[in-house]
Structure 1
Amino acid sequence: MESLFNKKYLPVIITGIVCAALGTALGWNLSRGGVKSTDIKLNFGSNSLEVNLDQDEIDAETFLGRIFEQGFSKSGAMDWLKLKQKIFHFKDPDIVKEFKTLPPDDPVSEQLYKLSASKTGPWAYQVDTVRISIPEKKYQPRKGFVNVCENGKYRGRMLQLYNLDQSIAIDLTASGKYACPTGLKFPDIQLNAKDAKKLLGDDNFSKYEEAIVLILQ
């Protein structure tokens, strides 16, 4: 992939990044020849982008604006910036690997820590309404623990479970698991009978009941 950018994208994007200098040179040549506009063709793999530059509009903002207004050329530019300059879009998952290289006293590390401590942004609490049930006694988790789907988001997490009016809450650890084949309905969480009675005041309810779950960590 990198060789592809070296051969096809690299000259194009470098041209875009240094387009202020290019604009100056082109503007000088155009003014000498009395030409009012020129077309520049940029190749992005099998796609191409033509940029028409008037003599009075050869500047960095115009040139880069044209590159980033088309999906294929924007993608090529973003990939080159990531591969060659370590410049990432903030929603690019690959940026997480770069965060691992930051020292604790880096300003970015400090801001990420503040977000984590305040439980905002990516660290905001997740609250869901879920279906709960009590499995047969031989499959019941211990008191204070719950069973969850083995491939679900609650697996291995610390949870806080509320009744629907949020008047009662219990802390639970999702240590148990069960298979949840695609296309079949399963409860989101299976409780010990004693925890279910504490939460809902009853341990003899129908197949499913609803509760509110908060992921603590």
Structure 2
Amino acid sequence: MGTMKHWSYPFFIGCAIGGALVIAYGQFGPVNPTKAAWKIKAPGISIIINSEGEGLDYHAILEAMFDNSFIKSAAIKWLGKEHNIYSLEEAELGEAIEESLCDEIPEKPFEERLSKAKECAKKPVAAKLRELANSHQPPFHFLGFKGDAGFPAGQGAPTKGHANVCKNGPFYGKQLQVVNPKNNTLVEVNASRSLGDCTGFGGRPDIQLGSHDAYTLFPGESLDITEEVIIIPL
């Protein structure tokens, strides 16, 4: 936003919370010891906050600030930069967890690596995130992807419990559940066998299954060249 070139985040928020301020051409002054008005005015924004009583109404001040989208954005940025407080809706929260939650874990020496790794894992935020990830609770829940399954015959056909997938695709090297969405039947396969790099122009399916797994998913059916399936990385 163009106005931010002239008005820094710390300036806006520090002034707003601090109370007495003049921004650009707004003026502030207490009317009497129990009544005061704040006027925050700058290019594109204008906000007036009235406070009555013996103490400052910080709740009203913050409500007024966060009702203004421009000041809200500035406040969130400032809180993150100055106090490591982030919004759940901002990517900066994930970046801060990745970059700042734990001290660097060295490759060597091994004892120090173990010590630093345990120290990081015991931090309350890290421990809770690891608990959610290990139990696959949101936001670490399983995701299913619609795809097409093919059923090659002959020497290149996968054996039971294995699958062929594109080497440059999202499933290569992973354990997968493959589900028939028509009857909810599933098989679990290891996608360690490569179809080579797929370009999207060769007509290759997302996954190839062997005859045993194919008939488990589609019992008694005459299979087309490809069938729709749901693919779930585990």
Tell me, yes or no, whether TM beats 0.5: yes
89-98 vs 190-199, greater mean Cα deviation: 190-199
Relative distance call for 1:110 and 1:187 in structure 2 (3 A) is same
159-168 vs 142-151, greater mean Cα deviation: 142-151
1:207 counterpart = 2:204: no
Partner of 1:11: 11
Using the aligned pairs only, state the percent identity: 19
Relative distance call for 1:8 and 1:199 in structure 2 (3 A) is same
CA RMSD after TM alignment: 3.9
Instruction: Give the AA of the match of 2:67.
Output: E
Relative distance call for 1:185 and 1:17 in structure 2 (3 A) is farther
1:72 counterpart = 2:73: no
TM-score by length of 2: 0.66
Deviations 1:108-146 (A, max 9, x none): 1221121122210122122344322246979x5744133
Check the 8 A contact 1:5/1:80 in 2, yes or no: no
C-alpha distance in structure 2 between counterparts of 1:16 and 1:135, whole Å:
68
C-alpha distance in structure 2 between counterparts of 1:69 and 1:155, whole Å:
47
1:118 counterpart = 2:115: no
C-alpha distance in structure 2 between counterparts of 1:170 and 1:79, whole Å:
45
1:91 counterpart = 2:89: yes
Q: With CA pairs under 8 Å and 6+ residues apart, which has the higher RCO, 1 or 2?
A: 1
Where 2:121 maps in the other structure, the secondary structure is coil
Matches within 5 A, 1:43-82: 43=42, 46-56=43-53, 58-82=56-80
Partner of 1:179: 199
Check the 8 A contact 1:134/1:192 in 2, yes or no: yes
C-alpha distance in structure 2 between counterparts of 1:175 and 1:52, whole Å:
66
Q: CA deviation at 1:209?
A: 0.8
Relative distance call for 1:39 and 1:28 in structure 2 (3 A) is closer
Where 2:89 maps in the other structure, the secondary structure is coil
Instruction: Give the AA of the match of 2:58.
Output: A
Check the 8 A contact 1:134/1:191 in 2, yes or no: yes
Instruction: Give the AA of the match of 1:13.
Output: I
C-alpha distance in structure 2 between counterparts of 1:156 and 1:91, whole Å:
32
Check the 8 A contact 1:12/1:42 in 2, yes or no: no
Decide which structure has greater helix share. 1
Partner of 1:189: 207
1:31 counterpart = 2:32: yes
Check the 8 A contact 1:149/1:155 in 2, yes or no: yes
C-alpha distance in structure 1 between counterparts of 2:45 and 2:180, whole Å:
59
Check the 8 A contact 1:196/1:203 in 2, yes or no: no
